[in-house]
Chain A
Amino acid sequence: MNAWITAFLAICWREALRFIHQRERFVAALVRPLVWLLVFAAGFRAALGLSITPPYQTYITYETYIVPGLCGMILLFNGMQSSLSLVYDREMGSMRLLLTAPLPRWWLLFSKLCGATFISILQVYTFLAIAAAFGIVMAPLGYLAALPALALGGLMLGALGLAMSSFIKQLENFAGVMNFVIFPMFFLSSALYPLWKMQESSDLLHDICAANPFTHAVEAIRFALYLQWNPAALGWTALATLGFMALALWGYDPARGMTRHKG
Chain B
Amino acid sequence: MRRTALATLLLAAAVPAQADEIWVTNEKDNTISVIDIATQEVTRTIPVGERPRGITFSHDYSRVYICASDSDAVQVMDPVTGEILHDLPSGEDPEQFVLAPDDRHLYIANEDDAVATVVDVETRTVVSQIDVGIEPEGMAISPDGKIAIVTSETTNMAHWIDTETHELFANTLVDSRPRHAEFVKHGTELWVSSEIGGTITVFDVATQAEKAKISFEIQGVHSDRIQPVGFELTADEKTAFVALGPANHLAVVNADTYEVEEYVLVGRRVWHMAFNADRSQLFTTNGISGDVTVVDVASRKALKSIKVGRFPWGAAFRPTQ
Contact = CB atoms under 8 A, between A and B. Distances in A.
Interface of A: 45, 47-49, 51-52, 57-61
Contacts of B7: none
Given A59-B267, A61-B265, A48 B247 contact: yes
Contacts of A47: 218-221
Given A49-B265, A49-B267, A57 B305 contact: yes
Given A47-B221, A49-B265, A49-B267, A59 B303 contact: no
Contacts of B294: 58
B218 A49 contact: no
8 contacts: A48-B221, A49-B266, A49-B267, A57-B303, A57-B304, A58-B303, A59-B267, A59-B302
B305 A58 contact: yes
A48 B293 contact: no
A61 B301 CA distance: 13
Contact of A59 (B218, B221, B305): B305
B16 to A, nearest CB: 27
A49 B304 contact: no
Contact of B266 (A51, A57, A58): A58
A247 B267 CA distance: 47
Nearest to B218: A47
A48 B283 CA distance: 18
B26 interface: no
A58 B304 contact: yes
B285 interface: no
B131 to A, nearest CB: 40
Contacts, number: 39
Given A45-B220, A49-B267, A59-B289, 12 more contacts: A48-B221, A48-B225, A48-B248, A48-B268, A49-B265, A49-B268, A52-B305, A58-B265, A58-B302, A58-B305, A59-B266, A61-B265
A51 B305 CA distance: 11
A226 to B, nearest CB: 11
Interface residues of B, number: 18
B241 to A, nearest CB: 15
Contacts of B304: 57-58
Contacts of B265: 49, 58-61
Contacts of B268: 48-49
A237 to B, nearest CB: 27
A59 B248 CA distance: 9
A52 B225 CA distance: 21
State the 6 A-B residue pairs at the shortest beta-carbon distance, nearest first.
A47-B220, A57-B304, A58-B305, A58-B302, A48-B248, A47-B221
Interface string B188-229: 000000000000000000000000000000111100010000
Nearest to A47: B220
A57 B266 CA distance: 11
Nearest to A46: B220
Contacts of B248: 48-49, 59
Interface string B250-278: 00000000000000011110000000000
Nearest to A60: B265
Contacts of B289: 51, 59
A246 B24 CA distance: 56
A45 B263 CA distance: 15
A145 B221 CA distance: 35
A51 to B, nearest CB: 8
B218 A58 contact: no
A174 B268 CA distance: 46
Contacts of B218: 47
Contacts of A51: 289
A221 B59 CA distance: 49
Contacts of B225: 48
A7 B74 CA distance: 80
Interface in B285-321: 289, 293-294, 302-305
A155 B265 CA distance: 36
Contacts of B247: 48
A59 B293 contact: yes
A238 B248 CA distance: 39
